[in-house]
Structure 1
Amino acid sequence: MEDLEIREANADDLPAIVAMLADDPLGAQRESPDDLAPYRVALERLDADPNQHLVVAVRAGRVIGTLQLTTIPGLSHRGATRALIEAVRIDSDERGSGLGSLLIEWAIDTARRLGCRMVQLTSDKSRTDAHRFYERLGFTASHEGFKMKL
């Protein structure tokens, strides 16, 4: 994609990021674009942690995509570090443009560069289009995920 930049997110990007997080049926129930204060606190925590990489895709000065890449050191798999991809969002005007694939490719390349031996992600069971997207990119639905809200 021409003139596309993928870079670390900053506080000026928060309104666009939160708007993308809220722009679907699941996100509309849990996000608050009108109150950025908790997101600012979260961004400060992310910025302070070298294992966190919150990035945005920007074209012509406009944030059009985002994801978070987390590296997780561990003992399993012979002490392998793995990468976790979270909160992949594409601006509604850009969906279907190939931007999602580029962001995931960026995450995989970055994970390799950081010495990760595995990339993993979760996707809500209701996001069947996303599941097909991830499978097209080579991910396999090899595990059942569990979550507990605290």
Structure 2
Amino acid sequence: MGDLEIRPATADDLPAIVAMLADDPLGAQRESPDDLTPYLTAWERLASDPSQHVVVAVREGRVVGTLQLTVIPGLSRRGATRSIIEGVRVHADERGSGLGTRFIEWAIDESRRQGCQLVQLTSDASRTDAHRFYERLGFTASHVGFKLQL
């Protein structure tokens, strides 16, 4: 993986992060890389919450991947703490390089470090390649997810 660095994201990384979020058929419908205002507002909330970990992968000074890890304490499962992996994106130039695997391994390791007993994620039903990827890493499709747009 060469000189790849995984580090906490900064506000300066937002243009690259949003561009990656928008760089697929689903993201192109819901992201607005030309107006960073809502992302900056969200960034302020994320940056002030110690349960939120937005990270980027950087190679040769360029952001080439991102993910968000959220740590959630809970009462179920005997008071287990869980983490949720969201917004995993790898730059088109880096797909197939092993970066996605390294990212998920980072998230699992960080979840353990944070005392989590469970790591979970969701993936849009249309992302069948992503589903195979997560299954190869040990995740199981154990639940049916529901969303309500507000």
State the TM-score bracket (shorter-chain normalisation): over 0.9
Equivalent position of 2:66 in the other structure: 66
- After TM superposition, list the pairs within 5 Å mapping 1:108-127 onto structure 2: 108-127=108-127
Moved over 4 A (4+): none
Equivalent position of 1:132 in the other structure: 132
Give how far 1:3 is off: 0.8
RMSD: 0.4
- After TM superposition, list the pairs within 5 Å mapping 1:48-67 onto structure 2: 48-67=48-67
SS in 1 for 2:16: helix
Equivalent position of 1:75 in the other structure: 75
User: In structure 2, how many angstroms separate the alpha carbons of the residues matched to 1:92 and 1:12?
Assistant: 20
Q: TM-score, normalised by structure 2?
A: 0.99
Equivalent position of 2:95 in the other structure: 95
User: In structure 2, how many angstroms separate the alpha carbons of the residues matched to 1:130 and 1:59?
Assistant: 23
Give how far 1:2 is off: 1.4
Q: TM-score, normalised by structure 1?
A: 0.99
Q: Deviations over 1:28-67 (max 9, x none)?
A: 0000000001101111100000000000000110000000
User: In structure 1, how many angstroms separate the alpha carbons of the residues matched to 2:28 and 2:37?
Assistant: 17
User: In structure 1, how many angstroms separate the alpha carbons of the residues matched to 2:27 and 2:98?
Assistant: 22
- After TM superposition, list the pairs within 5 Å mapping 1:28-43 onto structure 2: 28-43=28-43
Give how far 1:75 is off: 0.3
User: In structure 1, how many angstroms separate the alpha carbons of the residues matched to 2:124 and 2:64?
Assistant: 22
User: In structure 2, how many angstroms separate the alpha carbons of the residues matched to 1:31 and 1:12?
Assistant: 18
User: In structure 2, how many angstroms separate the alpha carbons of the residues matched to 1:80 and 1:2?
Assistant: 36
SS in 2 for 1:83: strand
Give how far 1:119 is off: 0.1
Give how far 1:68 is off: 0.1
User: In structure 2, how many angstroms separate the alpha carbons of the residues matched to 1:17 and 1:2?
Assistant: 21
Query: Counterpart amino acid of 2:101?
Result: S
Percent identity of the aligned residues? 78
User: In structure 2, how many angstroms separate the alpha carbons of the residues matched to 1:114 and 1:4?
Assistant: 23
Q: How many residues align?
A: 150
Say whether 1:46 aligns with 2:46: yes
User: In structure 2, how many angstroms separate the alpha carbons of the residues matched to 1:149 and 1:23?
Assistant: 22
User: In structure 1, how many angstroms separate the alpha carbons of the residues matched to 2:35 and 2:10?
Assistant: 17
User: In structure 2, how many angstroms separate the alpha carbons of the residues matched to 1:97 and 1:136?
Assistant: 15
SS in 1 for 2:117: strand
